[in-house]
Amino acid sequence: VRVENISERGCQVWIPRRAGLPPGKSIVLYIEEVGPFPATVRWSRDGWIGIEFDLPVYAPVLDHLSVRHAPED
């Protein structure tokens, strides 16, 4: 699983086979050692899934995750 575009309200996740996660599905997401993040799948397309967190991510946690999951140049 690959996590990209993380924000306080959600993220984009790459899951090659979609793992049976249709839009509207409630999930609990762990990103590395951080979580749980209760969330809802909002969209899926070509292996990418848009996730909306149920609650905003706490700013220091978001900063940590953003550095760890920054796009590579």
Per-residue pLDDT tens over the stretch 4-40: 889 999 999 988 775 678 899 999 999 888 889 999 9
SS3 call for 42: strand
pLDDT (average), residues 36-47: 92
Which residue(s) pair with 39 in the sheet?
27, 53
Q: In which band, very low, low, confident or very high, does the pLDDT at 72 lie, cut at 50, 70 and 90?
A: low
Q: State the virtual CA torsion across 1, 49, 10, 3 in degrees, nearest 10.
A: 20
